[in-house]
Amino acid sequence: MELSSRTLSTWPAIFDDGLALPPDPWDEPAPDDELRPDLDVDALQATGELHRQSIKAIEYATVRSRALLAEQYAGIADVLRDAGERPDPWTGPDPTLDLEWRDPRGRTVAAVRAERREIAKRAAAAELAVCAGLSEATVRTLAFRVETLRQRCPRVWTAFASGQVSEHNANVVAQHAASLPDTAPDSWADYDAQVLDGSRRMPPPKFRLRARLVRERVHPESVDQRHRRAAEDRREWFTAEPDGMATLSIFGPAADVLAAHRRADAHARHLRAQPGEERTLAQLRADVLLDLLAHGETPQTGPAPEHAAVAITVPVMTLLGHDDAPATLDGYGPIDADIARRLAGRARSWVRILTHPVTGTVLDVDRRTYRVPRALRRWLGVRDPACIAPGCVRPARDCDMDHRVEWQYGGTTTDTNLSPLCKPHHVLKTESLWRLYRDEITGATWWITPMAQRVDPEPPPW
């Protein structure tokens, strides 16, 4: 580890009088007479002073980075709030101001204005996502957390904005504060006061526990009431992971989830004690649960089916065994060639979509047909596997096939005029100033945002 004599001589002493943000030592260069040529870096290394100075530098950078993150989040929240209050820059002029205006869908003026406000916020979130390199969901989540902290935990928000609280701890505070009743502002203030010190000092794992326990104490409702309501939100979800792996998660009553974990652990420990067993306990627990879920038997369902239908996109040469180009498993993503062939051979039914052009694929239909034929929809799903809106990864199978030039304005039901758009982005394209364009010569498409940014699509597999 090395720091120049200039760095050591100009770096300020920080945190000596609390956690106030110090001035940036790089704002102004140090005069030549302050370079301290007599500074003995070797001696500082030997005594550990160099490390102390380096740690101070890291502390300083940490405080600055936290404050900058808070500034970014506050800016995002302010833009979304302003978009809701002043939607015209995002949705165009308000048609309800025209005294002769009548809504073709029979909505009231209040309903139309409310929808314009929501569309404006969604359009702004999409623009911010492009600007900051985030997803729209992340943008809206960050704005919600900022508003939660500002309204319910102003002390923690102030500490976060000055760099005293980490992003993780601030997010944990916002999450728990948002779960407190809207009609109990006293509980907000109590929570804010009781977690402030811990949010500054405690590392994330410990603070998560601390924040949850404080939330339990200050919540005005009983644990029984909250558990009954929370149990209605139990769910299971699947997450694709790299290298041919995936995560299966379950959210449910703690007693039931813990019982399932302990049963898997007991089986794993029994297997681990058997002669010749080399798997770790973690591996065994995973194997036990997967075997039970995939091949077990319950009174409700009986034996699990041995084979399942598979939707898989396979390069034709891979399928024939002449290439190892990856296939794509529907709902997961890229898988290796051996797994693809095994799935194709073992499944009772599967959908084969060849990436090599196949004679007879429908790419165009008569102008009189608005409905997208199945063969054309399948081809579009191969060309565009997901919603074409910036940053969106919703699968094409769950999207609308949007007419870029709308049907009522002469748009055709062709592959050059159709693309998958999920319902939220379909509404955004229709109701806001987001616009999709296409070069009829090259076939390239791009978006123009309400703030006149050009956004090119991300080519699969992203």
CB 52 within 8 A of CB 16: no
CB 127 within 8 A of CB 451: yes
Better-predicted residue by pLDDT, 461 or 110: 110
Q: Give mean pLDDT, residues 30-50.
A: 58
Q: Structural domain boundaries of the chain?
A: 240-303, 310-354, 374-455
Q: What is the pLDDT of residues 221-275, one digit of tens each?
A: 877 777 788 888 899 998 988 888 999 999 988 778 877 888 888 888 899 999 9
Cα 251 to Cα 257: distance, rounded to the nearest angstrom: 8
Beta bridge mates, 235? 251
Check if the beta carbon of residue 446 is closer than 8 Å to that of residue 437. Answer: yes
pLDDT classification of 355: cutoffs 50, 70, 90: very low
Given this model, what pLDDT does residue 441 score? 84
Confidence of residue 121 (pLDDT cuts 50, 70, 90): very high
pLDDT given for residue 33 in this prediction: 42
As a whole number of angstroms, the distance between CA 89 and CA 85 comes to 11
H/E run at residue 152: helix 136-152
Q: How far is CA 189 from CA 77, 148, 204, 210, in A?
A: 22, 12, 22, 16
Q: Please, which residues have CB within 8 angstroms of residue 269's CB and are 6 or more apart in sequence?
A: 281, 284
Give the SS3 label for residue 103: coil
Match 């139309």 to its residue by tokens.
Answer: 112
Please give the residue that has the higher pLDDT: either 140 or 327: 140
Three-state secondary structure along 318-378?
HHCCCCCCCEEECCCEEECHHHHHHHHHHCCCEEEEECCCCCCCCCECCCCCCCCCHHHHH
The confidence band for 165, taking pLDDT boundaries of 50, 70 and 90, is very high
Lowest-confidence range among 47-51, 112-116, 118-122?
Answer: 47-51
DSSP 20: P
pLDDT at 353: 43
Give yes or no for a contact between 177 and 150, defined as CB atoms under 8 angstroms apart.
no
What's the mean pLDDT when you consider all of the chain? 79
Contact 285, 325 (CB under 8 A): no
CB 60 within 8 A of CB 50: no
Span 29-52, mean pLDDT?
A: 59
Q: What percent of the chain has pLDDT over 70?
A: 71
Q: Which of 323, 369, 384, 374 has its CA nearest to residue 351?
A: 374
Out of 69-83, 110-124, 144-158, 386-400, which region has the weakest mean confidence (pLDDT)?
386-400
Give the pLDDT confidence score for residue 28 in this predicted structure: 44
Distance CA 137, CA 144 (A): 11
pLDDT at 115: 95
Residue 241 CB neighbours (<10 A): 10
pLDDT at 20 over 80: no
| Residue 222 vs residues 13, 37, 254: alpha-carbon distances, Å | 49, 67, 17
Q: What pLDDT is stored for residue 30 in this prediction?
A: 42
Question: CA–CA separation, 317 vs 323, rounded Å?
Answer: 5
pLDDT tens string 356-376 = 344 333 334 444 455 676 767
| Dist CA 422 CA 389 (whole Å) | 8
323 vs 440, which has greater pLDDT?
440
Position 17 scores a pLDDT of: 39
When pLDDT is averaged across residues 199-211 and rounded to a whole number, the result is: 88
CA distance 110 to 289: 52
| Res 370: pLDDT | 56
Q: pLDDT, tens digit, for every residue of 147-157?
A: 999 999 999 99
- What is the reported pLDDT for 460? 60
Whether 93 has a pLDDT exceeding 90, the answer reads yes
Cis peptide bond prior to 461, omega within 30° of 0: yes
Degrees (nearest 5) of the Cα angle 24, 26, 30?
Answer: 115
Q: What is the average pLDDT across 218-222?
A: 87
Helix, strand, coil percentages for the chain (3-state, nearest 5)? 50, 10, 35
Assess whether pLDDT exceeds 60 at residue 31: no
Task: Print burial letters for 359-375: b (CB count within 10 Å at least 16), e (below 16).
Answer: eeeeeebeeeeeebeee
Looking at the chain, the whole-number percentage of residues with pLDDT higher than 90 is: 39
Give the per-residue pLDDT at 316: 59
Q: What is the biggest distance separating any 2 CA atoms in the chain, rounded to whole angstroms?
A: 86
Residue 39's pLDDT band, with cuts at 50, 70 and 90, is low
